[in-house]
Amino acid sequence: MGISRYAYKGKRRFDISTFDTEDTGEFTSRDQSVDEFVENLLVINKKQQKLYSERKEGVIFVFQAMDAAGKDGVIRTVFSTLSPHGVKEFCFKVPSAEEKSHDFLWRFWSALPPRGFISIFNRSYYEDVLVGKVHEFYKSDIVPDRMKDSDVIQDRYRQIKDFERYLYETGTRVIKIFLNVSKDEQARRFISRIDTPRKNWKVSSGDLREREYWDAYMEAFETMVNETSTPESPWYVVPADHKWFARLLVSRIVRKTLEEIDPQYPPLDEATKSSLQEYRAKLIDSLGEKGYREQEKQPKEYSDPSLIPAEMLQQELLQKQAESDEKLKENGFKAVRKLLAENYMIRSLNDIMDAIAETPAEEKEEAEEEGEEDDESTRSPAEIREHIKEIVEDNEKETDNA
Ligand code: ATP
Ligand code: MG
């Protein structure tokens, strides 16, 4: 299923009072969504490489939400397979004195992505029509007389639309995501933060105070979506009571955005191609008798008894990575990805392989220290997978997914 029912592009009205924050689309449980989530992350990863290589278009993903709606968790998981060189997150807090001395869009210019880059705006200029509207902060701004009679918030909607249109027309796409959590679910998450010592740092009395303005915020979110949705810069309203569904939906939105941009590796011109061929010939010459083909590492056989199981599995994964995706599915590599993704801890394929390679070695050291005989060579890939699962589960217990 697509994302169109969550998209607002300026035609359809968004009515927050009838929006189902508990919606989980076509799924009844998180398990059913795992395969698609993993696939989305892998597609996003590949598309980002092309986006970066092409350097044609920049993208901004804007995230807005009430506190504890899961912004940080969504950003952490959905963008986790992106290469850090092409993506940057900006967290916009209460403006500093310097920022306040400028117009409200001033501080965002330096966060705009160069072409080929992705900027994540964790909060944004939309705060100026959310918290700024709810608390009427603009009333204390010192402004020229001509601004005194204007409807500041209404003007800001238009100014934001103009800004985003300008960006679109000059090579930067702005996609906006509102994680819509219910008041009850927010209460549950706050209680859990209060009850759990390792989550205490996330609670602030300010967040709890803002809850008292809930209705005003809902009105502000609704109007914001209705006033600033356009076909080029749509708003997506994501049901956020179930974290796994919010993450899945955002992965769909990011995937679809990148697919629409459809970046391509830049083709080489004929002159470059032929000069590369010349260099290639020189490189082969430089290898002399050793030659090039022999230099290529032949993958070791899986059955090589000198390999410890972790290496065997890694070898297996490397080989399978080279095969088609269809084959990967049949061969159980997907099971490993799934295992990690189920815990929504997935990072890149390399990380997974590193984890697989490192774990038994670490264990071996520990076992040696304890004077235990640990016969590594008898450990099966299935056992290794089981072991990774335990690590990931431990990890998840430690990490708050909010
Ligand atoms: P986390 O709590 O997960 O660290 P956060 O985004 O909630 O992330 P905080 O430092 O708690 O970070 O909150 C940032 C605060 O800054 C929010 O309350 C937000 O409303 C406020 N803020 C952001 N932009 C503006 C603005 N233009 N005017 C006034 N307040 C703003
Ligand atoms: Mg906060």
Q: Is the pLDDT of residue 127 over 90?
A: yes
Q: Is residue 3 part of a domain?
A: no
Query: So what's the pLDDT on residue 42?
Result: 87
DSSP conformational letter for 344 = T
Question: Residue 35: what pLDDT?
Answer: 82
CB 82 within 8 A of CB 48: yes
Query: Residues 51, 185: one domain?
Result: yes
> Would the CB of 163 count as within 6 Å of ligand 1?
no
Q: Are 380 and 309 in contact (CB under 8 A)?
A: yes
Nearest CA to ligand 1 atom 17: 93
pLDDT of residue 31: 82
- The stretch 28-36 carries a mean pLDDT of 87
Between the CA of 398 and the centroid of ligand 2 the distance, in Å, is 20
Residue 1 lies in a domain: no
CB 95 near ligand 1, within 6 Å: yes
- Decide whether any atom of ligand 1 lies within 6 Å of the 164 Cβ: no
Per-residue burial over 243-266, b if 16 or more Cβ lie within 10 Å, else e, is bbbbbbbbbbbbbbbbeebebeee
What 3-state class would DSSP assign to 237?
Answer: strand
Q: Do 295 and 347 fall into the same domain?
A: no
Please indicate, yes or no, if residue 88 is contained in any of the structural domains: yes
pLDDT above 90 (res 392): no
How far is Cα 260 from Cα 243, in angstroms, rounded to an integer? 26
Taking CA atoms only, the protein residue closest to ligand 1 atom 10 is 93
The span from the CA of 176 to the CA of 125, in Å, is: 11
Please say which residue of 303, 323, 355 terminates a domain: 303
pLDDT above 80 for 317: no
Check pLDDT > 50 for residue 280.
yes
Cβ 72 under 6 angstroms from ligand 1:
yes
Reduced to 3 DSSP states, what percent helix, strand and coil does the chain have, rounded to the nearest 5?
Answer: 60, 10, 30
Average pLDDT score over residue span 192-208: 92
Q: Please write the tens of the pLDDT for every residue from 223-277.
A: 999 999 999 999 999 999 999 999 999 999 999 999 999 999 999 999 998 999 9
**Mean pLDDT confidence for 30-37:** 86
Tell whether 121 and 161 lie within a shared domain: yes
Which ligand is located closest to the Cα atom of residue 125? 1
> Domain end: 201, 229, 261, which one?
261
Give tens-digit pLDDT for 344-371: 444 444 455 555 554 444 444 554 555 4
Closest CA to 42 of 340, 295, 265, 371: 340
Whether residue 29 is predicted with pLDDT greater than 80 in this model: the reply is yes
Is 386 within a domain?
yes
Residue nearest to atom 12 of ligand 1 (CA): 93
**CB distance 123 to ligand 1 below 6 Å:** yes
Please indicate whether residue 93, judged by its CB atom, sits closer than 6 Å to ligand 1: yes
Q: Which pLDDT band, with edges at 50, 70 and 90, does 398 fall under?
A: low
Between CA 143 and CA 132 the distance in angstroms is: 16
Which of 66, 105, 121, 127 to mutate for ligand 1's pocket (most ligand atoms within 8 Å of CB)? 127
CA distance 61 to 68: 19
Partner residues linked to 174 by β-bridges: 60
Joined tokens for residue 3: 């994302």
User: Is residue 2 in a domain?
Assistant: no
Report, as an integer, the average pLDDT of 181-190.
Answer: 97
Per-residue confidence band for 132, with pLDDT thresholds at 50, 70 and 90: very high
Mean pLDDT, residues 100-121: 98
Q: Average pLDDT, stretch 207-213? A: 95
Whether 196 maps to a domain, the answer reads yes
Tokens coding 140: 């204390």
Torsion of CA 255, 259, 264, 265, to 10 degrees: 10
Most confident residue range from 60-64, 316-320, 321-325: 60-64
Confidence category of residue 381, pLDDT binned at 50, 70, 90: low
Nearest atom in ligand 1 to the alpha carbon of residue 128 is: 27
Q: What is the CATH number of the domain that holds 229?
A: 3.40.50.300
The DSSP line for 312-361 is: HHHHHHHHHHHS-HHHHHHHTHHHHHHHHHHTT----HHHHHHHHHHHHH
Q: Which residues pair with 34 in a beta bridge?
A: none
Output the average pLDDT for the chain. 83
Domain end residue (candidates: 199, 229, 261): 261
What separation in Å is there between the alpha carbon of 207 and the centre of ligand 2?
A: 6
Most ligand 1 atoms within 8 A of CB, residue of 71, 72, 123 to mutate:
123
Distance 93 CA to ligand 2 centre (A): 9
Q: Does pLDDT of 204 surpass 50?
A: yes
Residue with tokens 């705060």: 127
- Write the CA distances from 125 to 103, 168, 252, integer angstroms: 11, 16, 24
Those residues with Cβ within 8 angstroms of residue 73's Cβ, 6 or more apart along the chain or in another chain: 243, 247, 401, 402
Q: Are residues 287 and 319 in the same domain?
A: no
- Domain contains 44: yes
Residue 241 half-sphere exposure, CB side, CA atoms within 13 Å?
Answer: 13
Decide: helix, strand or coil at residue 343: coil
pLDDT at 379 over 90: no
- Is the domain of 225 the same as that of 349? no
Does one domain contain both 23 and 144? yes
pLDDT band of 123, cuts 50, 70, 90:
very high
Whether 98 and 171 map to the same domain: the answer is yes
Please indicate whether residue 128, judged by its CB atom, sits closer than 6 Å to ligand 1: yes
The answer to the question of residue 378 being in a domain is yes
The count of structural domains within the chain is 3
Average pLDDT over residues 26-50: 90
Residue 343 has pLDDT above 90, yes or no: no
- pLDDT of 311 over the 60 cut: no
Greatest extent of the chain over all pairs of C-alpha atoms, in Å: 83
Give the model's pLDDT for residue 359. Answer: 46
Give percent of the chain with pLDDT exceeding 90. Answer: 62
What's the CA gap between 17 and 182, in Å, rounded? 11
Same domain? For 248 and 120 the reply is: yes
pLDDT given for residue 244 in this prediction: 94
Starting from the edge strand earliest in sequence, which strands make up the sheet with 172-180, in order? 7-8, 235-239, 172-180, 58-65, 118-122, 87-91
> In which band, very low, low, confident or very high, does the pLDDT at 148 lie, cut at 50, 70 and 90?
confident
* 376, 394: one domain: yes
Of residues 359 and 122, the one with the higher pLDDT is 122
Q: Say yes or no: 144 and 184 in one domain.
A: yes
Domain of residue 295 covers 270-303
Residues 66 and 198 in one domain: yes
- Ligand 2 centroid–CA 31 distance in Å is 30
Check if the beta carbon of residue 65 is closer than 8 Å to that of residue 124.
Answer: no
Same-domain pairing of 157 and 52: yes
User: Does the pLDDT at position 312 exceed 70?
Assistant: no
